[in-house]
Amino acid sequence: MAKKRGNHEGSITRRKDGLWMAQVTLGRDPQTGKSKRATFYAKTRQAAAEQLAKALRDHQQGTLVAPHKLTLGTWLDTWLQDYKRPKLRPLTFDSYEMVVRRHLKPMLGHLLIQDVRPEHLQHFYNAKTQQGLSARTVRYCHTLLHSALAQAEKNQVVARNVATLVTPPRKTRQEMHTLTSPQIANHFLPAIAADRLFAAVFLLFGTGLRRGELLGLRWKDADVTAGVLHIRQTLVRVKNHDATADTAKSRLIFEEPKTASSRRTVPIPAECLTALKHHKARQAEEKLLLGPAYEDHGLIFCRPNGHPIEPSKFSTHFQTLLQQASVPAIRLHDARHTFATLLLELGESPKTVQTMLGHSSVAMTLDIYSHVSLELETKAAAKLNAVLSGGQ
């Protein structure tokens, strides 16, 4: 017969299967009005009593996490929809949702969230790395897990955030592929001069704009007289999470720049400005040709009918132009890297480059282009050596 315990001390009983069961009442559920009870099982009465004592102590301190059957996968879905979707930009939410759906839930989603241990996460990181997933993506998985479990700890769904006890892969630097100024000026640009989107490609190398920033430009964002562009919106394709059988799974949207530093004014090189004026004249001819069928969204770079250009198709077109010009293949984003590298090699200050790129800090710019900084520092050391050794 189980020893009788006082009020609010919980109870310990032995089940027919031989296990000892400890239970404690944690008050009432404010929604249902029913009592909330935590139940623990052990092979001995002493072990059950220890679990019960700890539960009572944690409950008194406000740190008790009642046992439940919530899985990590279910919590990740809740975390995404209730805590992240309302405040994240659509494209950022899409990346979170993709990582959860493609990587986290398949390997970890079945685990009860209270049973997740550091070794589960470490095994996950190691397995993903062995499968060929980049260190950057694995670290991204870690960031999301850490954030989701931190919210779970705050909600008293788990007792602690086990992601704080795990070491993600070391950050690796992605190799950059850039074009040289002779490759751009003597080969690439002359070879594509007749292309309808020549001015767009020229601006990539002349201003360092991101793809979405370029395709989101409107004529009202361009001050031709002052020779500057005002970056006020960006074009992105996002997933339509409310899609039905009759609606598209994704859609193009215009959104504000991600950060205050991304919302900036960028000077236009004189030759780029000339190309932009020629592009405007060509666009006016397209409008006349289509007449009422032309849908004017005020975009600088658009399809012949005025509709926004699909970002992925613009990247594909860029690759086609590189092949036609017989220059080394680079990613479209590498045009931005080329822009920054050329400026730094020309002796422009990192602070100026940071501002033109729209980076949040000069430290970020120096970190990305540390290879260029090292070359410049080497040249500076050589100049100093010449002075100190009495040379000219």
pLDDT tens, per residue, the chain with 392 residues = 444 444 456 788 898 888 888 888 766 655 566 766 777 778 899 988 887 887 777 766 665 555 667 899 999 999 999 999 999 999 999 999 999 999 999 999 999 998 999 999 999 999 999 999 999 999 999 999 999 999 998 887 888 899 999 988 887 777 788 999 999 999 999 999 999 999 999 999 999 999 999 999 999 999 999 999 999 999 999 998 877 766 788 999 999 998 999 999 999 999 999 999 999 999 999 999 999 999 999 999 999 999 999 999 999 999 999 999 999 999 999 999 999 999 998 889 999 999 999 999 999 898 888 777 667 777 777 777 777 877 65
Where helices occur in 131-244 by DSSP H, the ranges are: 135-154, 181-182, 189-191, 198-207, 211-215
CB 52 within 8 A of CB 63: no
The residue ranges of every structural domain in the chain are 11-59, 72-165, 182-329
Nearest CA to 150 among 207, 84, 200, 235?
84
Q: How far apart are CA 55 and CA 39, in angstroms?
A: 10
Nearest CA to 204 among 101, 319, 112, 117?
319
CB 295 within 8 A of CB 306: yes
CB 256 within 8 A of CB 263: yes
What percentage of the chain exceeds 90 in pLDDT? 65
Q: Could you tell me which CATH number the domain at 182-329 has?
A: 1.10.443.10
Q: How far apart are CA 56 and CA 50, in angstroms?
A: 10
- What are the start-end ranges of the E strands in the chain? 11-14, 20-28, 35-42, 222-223, 228-230, 234-239, 250-255, 265-267
Q: How far apart are CA 127 and CA 132, in angstroms?
A: 9
Q: Which CATH superfamily is domain 72-165 in?
A: Tyrosine recombinase, N-terminal domain (1.10.150.130)
pLDDT value at residue 33: 65
Q: Are 72-165 and 182-329 the same fold in CATH?
A: no
Q: How far apart are CA 168 and CA 126, in angstroms?
A: 9
CB 187 within 8 A of CB 209: no
pTM: 0.77
Q: How far apart are CA 73 and CA 105, in angstroms?
A: 5
Q: How far apart are CA 229 and CA 219, in angstroms?
A: 9
pLDDT value at residue 270: 96
Collapsed DSSP state (helix, strand, coil) of residue 252: strand
Q: How far apart are CA 306 and CA 276, in angstroms?
A: 16
Give the chain's radius of gyration (CA, Å). 30
Q: How far apart are CA 210 and CA 219, in angstroms?
A: 17
